[in-house]
């Protein structure tokens, strides 16, 4: 459902991504690692349509995103993708239930699934709480619930467990994995953590020469 064709992205005359091509398999959970500054977050932002490549195409469901107008691209993103990004933090003035209901409401869907999704991530009975009442690990659970509640085909995660202790991080990633596998979604997770990458089906390392498959356990 996702293909990158000859993606080039330059910041201030400095090439970050150069002619990157890759086809992601449907339903696959992929980790992307690589040195700091190599362009991992840039790549995720391009896939999410939060940034545009200088040239090349991001193709989602067979359609180049650049061929869609802004409105159509936004609709596609809202309906087909889910995000666990720092930039999409849980909103502080909404209850947990309202936070998780947001993608459903934006897609014109019934918001009733939000509470069931909170149950699934282990936050039964907490729907009326506000984010300030939660621990870091619980907040990440809310972020995952919100990313998955509208059953997206593609989940994008940028360091989803970056600031959590190893045990909590492992629990969150097990949850993410279980939920995407249950729904058949594909997921792309950028991480510096080998332990996190081990939870994915495959790990790629991003470098100047592109995405290279790397064996787990390194």
Ligand X SMILES: Nc1ncnc2c1ncn2[C@@H]1O[C@H](COP(=O)(O)OP(=O)(O)OP(=O)(O)O)[C@@H](O)[C@H]1O
Which residue's CB is nearer to ligand X, number 47 or number 142? 47
Which residue's CB is nearer to ligand X, number 45 or number 99? 45
> Per the structure block, which two tokens stand in for 154?
């593609």
Decide if 32 contacts 206 (C-beta within 8 A). Answer: yes
Q: By CB under 6 A, which span of 10-18, 133-141, 176-184, 210-218 interacts with ligand X?
A: 10-18
> Per the structure block, which two tokens stand in for 71?
């409105």
Paired residues of 202 in beta bridges? 30
The interface mask with ligand X, positions 83-122, x = CB under 6 A, is ----------------------------------------
Among 7, 41, 172, 175, binds ligand X (CB under 6 A): 41
Q: By CB under 6 A, which span of 30-38, 62-70, 74-82, 91-99 interacts with ligand X?
A: 30-38
CB of 107 to ligand X, least distance (A): 28
Q: Is 13 in the site for ligand X (CB under 6 A)?
A: no
Which residue's CB is nearer to ligand X, number 40 or number 199? 40
CB of 14 to ligand X, least distance (A): 7
Beta strand pairing status for 55-60 and 2-11? Answer: antiparallel
Give residues with Cβ within 8 angstroms of 205, minimum separation 6.
32, 33, 34, 211, 212, 214
Residue 209 CB coordination number (10 Å): 10
Among 4, 30, 39, 148, binds ligand X (CB under 6 A): 39
Please give the Cα distance from 16 to 204 (Å, whole number).
17
Q: By CB under 6 A, which span of 39-47, 105-113, 179-187, 196-204 interacts with ligand X?
A: 39-47
Give residues with Cβ within 8 angstroms of 185, minimum separation 6.
27, 82, 148, 151, 152, 153, 154, 155, 179
Binding residues for ligand X, rule: CB under 6 A, are 11-12, 16, 34, 36-42
């Amino acid at each position: 459902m996702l293909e990158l064709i000859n993606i080039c992205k330059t910041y201030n005359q400095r090439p970050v991504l150069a002619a990157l091509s890759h086809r992601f398999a449907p339903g696959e959970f992929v980790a992307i690692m690589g040195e700091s500054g190599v362009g991992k977050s840039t790549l995720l932002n391009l896939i999410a349509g939060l940034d545009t490549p200088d040239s090349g195409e991001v193709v989602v469901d067979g359609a180049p995103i650049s061929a869609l107008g802004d409105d159509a691209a936004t609709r596609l993103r809202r309906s087909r993708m889910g995000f666990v990004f720092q930039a999409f933090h849980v909103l502080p003035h909404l209850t947990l239930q309202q936070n998780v209901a947001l993608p459903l409401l934006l897609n014109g869907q019934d918001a009733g699934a939000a509470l069931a999704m909170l149950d699934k991530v282990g936050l039964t009975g907490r729907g009326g709480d506000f984010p300030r009442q939660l621990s870091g690990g619980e907040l990440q659970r809310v972020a995952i619930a919100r990313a998955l509640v509208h059953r997206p085909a593609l989940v994008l995660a940028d360091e989803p467990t970056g600031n959590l202790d190893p045990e909590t991080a492992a629990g969150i990633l097990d949850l993410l994995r279980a939920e995407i596998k249950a729904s058949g979604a594909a997921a792309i997770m950028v991480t510096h953590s080998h332990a996190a990458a081990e939870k994915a089906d495959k790990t790629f390392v991003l470098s100047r020469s592109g995405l290279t498959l790397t064996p787990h356990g390194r």
